[in-house]
Structure 1
């Protein structure tokens, strides 16, 4: 294959964004499915995010239906008024039952399964399976729509969902066992607890036409190799600080 034909191969770019600041974030309260709104700082972060994406072509936006997410993508839609949007309840964060509205201190924030067994809490493993299910639907649909040009998809969701999905794709500790390692990291991808609200995490599929799809859904068991590249994820300085905290 010539270099010119290689250059013509289109890619699927998936941009993950997290909602802006809420009062629960300030008060260190667990939100889960609790429907909260952005603070003035959160609206500023949403505007900053929109400015970062101003010159970025966007083909479609999938989003969690919670208010803080809808408010976060509103400035993006001002810049991209013709972009279709799709709300999907499976893009909500982990349901935390009776823990919602309670302090971060009520669970071990470094242990993703520490809330398991509490009343109304969605088991962490079930949460990750839900993330894989919705991601599989989106990737299958958008891979089929990727033509001669790169296709760019935005997924607006919650920080715990972004981190848990990426770690599951990498089969890294805490999210191993859901599948073999399917993703590699680029030089600008750093593991963080969750991305900052004005960050954009980018995952790329270089050959979307090669992904196995069955009945409109990604066939996870049929995936060969590592088709996903996490090109951007969090900030280096935050990742280093978190690693030092874990070590000490």
Structure 2
């Protein structure tokens, strides 16, 4: 089974560098164009199902792709971004000023939560459950699913599918509309591409 992993298109908060988490932000016009270009890139891929987070920016991205591929999309809260609680709406600099030392703890301790938020391990638990669901589909080796999610959630999905330590999430970049392709095999997953975003360029 192939898993095509995509981060949603650009939002205003992406442009402003604001932490989104579970705040429900829409795509920008540029984000919609990114999603459309990505959809055209995926036309000839063996995708049989589309799964997406139930947050607006992911649903909008998935709907643009789904219409282009003539496929319905399935929303699930398992693919939501981490809830960052009181950090949401703030830039990294603002978080460091308002909540001294918390970001460094977040990066080092996967059980640490922002005030009112989730830990990385909370996200991992959701992703492990989602992986169990898609593996139960018993798809053919050359069939694939598309997953439309968020930066952190995509990274956790990638390391879990690849069997890597959770610490590797800091070594992975996942841009808006970036495409990562993994083939899941019984003997171990194979990474075909990571954060390929050539389709979003003019």
Does TM, scored on the shorter chain, surpass 0.5? yes
Quick check: 2:80–2:149 contact (8 Å CA) kept in 1?
A: yes
Out of 100, 119, 133, which is 2:115 matched to?
119
Out of 167, 180, 183, which is 1:201 matched to?
180
SS at match of 2:167: coil
Where does the alignment leave 5 or more consecutive residues of structure 2 unmatched?
Answer: 96-102, 198-202
Q: Spell out the pairing of 1:105-116 with structure 2 (5 A cutoff).
A: 105=93, 106=95, 107-108=103-104, 111=107, 113=109, 116=112
Cα distance in 2 for partners of 1:109, 1:52 equals 39
Quick check: 1:22–1:68 contact (8 Å CA) kept in 2?
A: yes
**1:220 equivalent in structure 2:** none
Quick check: 2:66–2:73 contact (8 Å CA) kept in 1?
A: no
Cα offset, 1:109, TM superposition = 10
Quick check: 1:45–1:198 contact (8 Å CA) kept in 2?
A: yes
**1:55 equivalent in structure 2:** 44
Out of 32, 37, 59, which is 2:26 matched to?
37
Cα offset, 1:112, TM superposition = 6.2
Q: 1:173 to 1:55 in 2, by over 3 A?
A: closer
Asked if residue 161 in structure 1 is aligned to residue 153 in structure 2, the reply is: yes
Out of 99, 112, 116, which is 2:87 matched to?
99
Cα offset, 1:117, TM superposition = 3.8
Asked if residue 172 in structure 1 is aligned to residue 165 in structure 2, the reply is: yes
Asked if residue 13 in structure 1 is aligned to residue 2 in structure 2, the reply is: yes
Q: Decide which moves more: 99-108 or 86-95.
A: 99-108
SS at match of 2:136: helix
Cα distance in 2 for partners of 1:119, 1:231 equals 37
**2:188 equivalent in structure 1:** 227
Cα distance in 1 for partners of 2:10, 2:105 equals 18
Cα offset, 1:55, TM superposition = 2.1
Quick check: 1:15–1:152 contact (8 Å CA) kept in 2?
A: yes
Q: Which has the larger radius of gyration?
A: 1
Cα distance in 2 for partners of 1:205, 1:114 equals 25
SS at match of 2:74: strand
Cα offset, 1:84, TM superposition = 3.7
Cα distance in 2 for partners of 1:135, 1:197 equals 22
Higher relative contact order (CA 8 A, sep 6+): 2
Q: 1:114 to 1:98 in 2, by over 3 A?
A: farther
Cα distance in 2 for partners of 1:139, 1:108 equals 35
Quick check: 1:201–1:234 contact (8 Å CA) kept in 2?
A: yes
Quick check: 1:43–1:72 contact (8 Å CA) kept in 2?
A: yes
